[in-house]
Chains A and B, each alone.
Chain A
Amino acid sequence: MDIVYSLLMAFLSIVIVNNFVFTKFLGTCPYLGCSGRIDTAFGMGLAVTFVTTLSGIMTWFVDYYILVPHKLEITRYICYIIIIAGAVQLVEMYVKKFFPPLYKSFGIFLPLISTNCVILGICLFINIWGINNIAEVAVLSAGSGIGFTLAICIMAAIRENLKLADVPPSLKDAPITLITAGLLTMAFMGFTGMIK
């Protein structure tokens, strides 16, 4: 029971309290660039969640069983980026084959998932936090992607309504999005300290 409890706490912590977008500013580019419409944003979030889960677990295995025992830590970043790029290629082929309309609406953002900071971020933070338990790694990797999906969907919903608002011309598009993001961050700050 303790294990389930600690996994649940880890999940809530990474999704809400320590959400990567709101507290660590990771994945800000697609968060601002790909949040114009809610269906695109949701698809983007799902693709990222899939890649974070896959690459978070794989990088942990590679790190734990190959890099550390053979003292190859110096090549860590290069190994991480190869694994992430491979996982993204997989998603790209899958989406292209089974969801052509979604593939079109992503455009250049799909191959650029490999340069999404959330993915490399979770691999690095799992390493920095020194987590040595595969169940927790899986929960954290999936949770970081779900947290990103949550953030980008909230943002997309707000921006769809923002189109009807009367925004000063110089603040149109990116600036008002950033200010909205700031206010959202403040809302999520209310969760600080709830879990470690």
Chain B
Amino acid sequence: MADSNTVTPGYFNALTVGLWRENPTFRLLIGMCPPLAVTTAVKPALTMGLCVIFVLVCSNIVISLMRNLLKPHLRIIMFCLSIAAFVTVADLYLRDFSPKMSETLGAYIPLIIVNCIIIFRAEACASKYNVLISILDGIGSGTGFTLALCILAGIREIMAAGTFAGIRVMPDSFVPWAAMQMPVGAFVTLGLLLGLSAIITAKKD
């Protein structure tokens, strides 16, 4: 699979590149708002991740289809417009089928529009390669993002409430760390996780 990487990325490569090597949160440090904002518990984090995967795949398809018509100075606005359309779809869907979750996530769902991950993938992949590769790339990057979100949310939820996705995992004598629920918990946990990922990368090389 590795040697198919010469001209266009191979299909397998397109799918896996976003999982770790170009993981948006841990390696590229883009789209940092949702990993910090919605990770107080696992459920909203997972919902957010699924929304991002949906928007990423759909916008990659559209942008890949119109890649030959794009003018350089208008490309970012075209990306934003196609993303905004799909975010509206996701927002309306969520508002109808899961009003409570929609309320929890609040403004962070429309804020997917300006999430750098989607624009970055559009710029780096969808505006260059064909539809199939763009779809795989969207799924890969989206999954990598969702995994990062869930890891962070898992740590924070266990520390702050002693539960994982609403199920109690810590013994009753566990004293919750209220700080993990607050913004400071988000920043410090993500900082330490980035340090950990830097150690892992250094060991691998």
Contact = CB atoms under 8 A, between A and B. Distances in A.
Contacts of A74: 88, 92
A43 interface: no
A185 B184 contact: yes
B29 interface: yes
Contact of A26 (B88, B111, B184): B111
A171 B188 CA distance: 12
B111 A124 contact: yes
A28 B39 CA distance: 15
A99 B183 CA distance: 36
Contact of B33 (A29, A125, A168, A175): A29
29 contacts: A25-B33, A25-B36, A25-B186, A28-B33, A74-B92, A75-B88, A77-B110, A77-B113, A80-B84, A82-B77, A85-B80, A111-B76, A114-B80, A115-B116, A117-B111, A117-B114, A119-B114, A124-B110, A128-B107, A169-B202, A170-B195, A170-B199, A170-B202, A176-B191, A178-B188, A179-B192, A182-B183, A182-B191, A186-B184
Contacts of B32: 25, 28-29, 32
Chain A CB count within 10 A is highest, among B76, B110, B116, B199, for B110
A81 interface: yes
A179 B191 contact: yes
B41 interface: no
A121 B186 contact: no
A174 interface: yes
Interface in A61-120: 74-78, 80-82, 85, 111-112, 114-117, 119-120
B110 A23 contact: no
Nearest to B75: A111
B191 to A, nearest CB: 3
A170 B112 CA distance: 30
Contacts of B195: 168, 170-171, 175
Give the size category of A's interface with B.
35 or more
B33 A26 contact: yes
A120 B111 contact: yes
B182 interface: yes
A29 B31 contact: yes
Interface of A: 22-29, 32-33, 74-78, 80-82, 85, 111-112, 114-117, 119-121, 124-125, 128, 168-172, 174-179, 181-183, 185-186, 189
Nearest to A23: B183
Nearest to A26: B33
Contacts of A128: 106-107
Interface residues of B, number: 42
Contacts of B37: 24-25
Contacts, number: 128
Contacts of B194: 174-175, 178
Chain A CB count within 10 A is highest, among B30, B114, B183, B202, for B114
B85 interface: yes
Contacts of A77: 84, 87-88, 91, 110, 113
Nearest to B87: A77
A32 B29 contact: yes
Chain B CB count within 10 A is highest, among A24, A33, A76, A116, for A24
B81 A82 contact: yes
B114 A115 contact: yes
Given A26-B33, A120-B114, A78 B81 contact: yes
Contacts of A186: 184
Interface in B172-205: 182-188, 190-192, 194-196, 198-199, 202
Contacts of A116: 114
B136 interface: no
